[in-house]
Amino acid sequence: MASADSFTIKVKGSQTHGAMPWMGVDPIVVASQIVLGLQTIVSRQTDLTATRRLSLWARSRGGSF
């Protein structure tokens, strides 16, 4: 049976000074890890003989102040 579901994930980063990059959160890295995790569910946690499709794509860059 086919179905379509939708969901929204908002990833927010935090800026930091160049001298202390470990104090910030890079939203691109976080979003990439989310995509990799979702792909791992499809490729490693489901029956390989069944057809599975996971389509993700929408990104938005916030403005800078």
The reported pLDDT for the residue numbered 24 is 92
Residue 10 has pLDDT above 60, yes or no: yes
The reported pLDDT for the residue numbered 52 is 79
Residue 62 has pLDDT above 70, yes or no: no
Burial 24-59 (b: 16+ CB within 10 A, else e): eeebeeebeeeeeeeeeeeeeeeeeeeeeeeeeeee
pLDDT tens track for 42-56: 888 888 788 877 777
β-bridge mates for residue 25, sequence order: 14
Counting residues of the chain whose pLDDT is more than 70, the rounded percentage is 85
